[in-house]
Each structure stands twice: as C-alpha cells, then as structure tokens.
Structure 1
C-alpha cells in the first residue's frame, strides 16, 4: 500500500521561466510526509511537542518539468523501518508523466537530538505502507 498526496502546482512554486523551482519540490515532499503522518494518526503538531523527525538524507531525480496549474500526485511508500530511522520513496506523476522521484531517510529524535526508537504504534502504522 502507498500514500497518495495531491498537489496542485501553484504560482509560488514557479520560477520566472514558469516551471517549478526545484527547491519547491522539497517543500512538496515535506508536505506529503506531514500529511502521511497525520493519516497514520501521528500529526506533526502533536508529535513535535516531545520529539523531532528531521530529514537526515534525501536524493531526487527530476525527470520532467512541472508548470503552474499542473495537478501532481505524489506517491509515498515506506521502504524500510529502522530502530529510529524511516526510509521513504516518492514518485510524483502528472497524469501518466513522471515529474520526479526521490528517496529520503527520516530520523526519530528526542528533545536533545539523539535518535530514539519509534513507538510501536508508529512502527505498526508504517508497516501498512
């Protein structure tokens, strides 16, 4: 199973050439992650009161440009669940055309910035995706 996040390309995402400025894709990826955590019952506004979930690594391949008004579907899949890390993959499509793909690693940290074990409820939720 995967998690699909719908993202309309907005004016704020585009550069003067009228295409998505690549750092905006990272914002879209983060929005997708935040929506995913909400979907599985771990909304960031609650989770971040006692922990953190920074991105430790991210790699992206940009296949085709996106333009203002395009309707993207960003598909998130859980690749690996570690003790305190989570590997995710992302595939962004506009219709049948791939726009970008990415892989990232999130780390679950305590308030002091040290890695900590994912709660069992989180691990169970991740395993569904």
Structure 2
C-alpha cells in the first residue's frame, strides 16, 4: 500500500538557478515519512518526541533523475518496503525526478535502538509492500 502527497516547489527549495537545491530533497523525503506517520500510523513526530521517543534516519540513498523548478508541483509516493525488529526502509519517489531509500530506526528514551512498539508495528506491517 502506498502513501501519496503533492509537494509544491517553492522559492525556499531552490538555488539561484531556480532548481531544487539537492539537500531540500532530503527534507522532502523526511516530510513524506513524517506525514506518513501522522496520516497513516496515527502517531505524529510531535507526540513521539513528547513521549521521549524518536525515529532518526540512519541511512539515506538518493538518485537524482531530473531537475525540479520553482512552481512545479510534484506527486510523491512512499512505500514501506522493509520492516525489521528496530528499523524500517521506505522507498520514496517524486515522479520521474527523484527516487530515495530512507531507513529509519526506532529510538527509545535512552537514545538507543529498540523494537517497534506494539501499537506501531502492526500498522507498519499492514503497509508493507
């Protein structure tokens, strides 16, 4: 099952040439993961942090295919393609512009990796591609 959002390319995303500055794509990939957790898992990053947990990105691989320009509206798709005991890997695409693989790790209050909580793991498993 995939998760989709449209992200408009704004001035703040662009370099002086008017194309997306590549680190902004990393922010957009994180935007997709964060909003997947909010909309599909029902567990916002804000709540996660308030409860003393976290989910840092441990690995990010990005293939840049085509530039995006100010004013473009990109349809993004996120697919959960792997879930481990403490980690999950997402495949995130922005049309024909970008493909990223983002691995996140569940972190407990002691800032160490921990198994997915019982209220999150079944939701993630239901979204596994």
The alignment's TM-score, normalised by the length of structure 1, stands at: 0.93
Counterpart CA distance in 1 for 2:92 and 2:25 is 11
- 1:8 paired with 2:8, answer yes
1:105 aligns with one of 91, 103, 106:
103
Aligned equivalent of 2:44? 43
How many residue pairs match? The answer is 125
Within 2, Cα distance between the matches of 1:123 and 1:4? 20
Alignment of 1:55-74 (within 5 A): 55-74=57-76
Deviation at 1:125, TM superposition (A): 1.1
TM-score, normalised on structure 2? 0.93
Tell me how large the CA RMSD over aligned residues is: 0.9
Gaps of 5+ in 2: none
Unaligned runs of 5+ in 1: none
Residue in structure 2 matched with residue 19 of structure 1 by the alignment: 19
- Structure 1 runs of 4+ aligned residues shifted over 2 Å read none
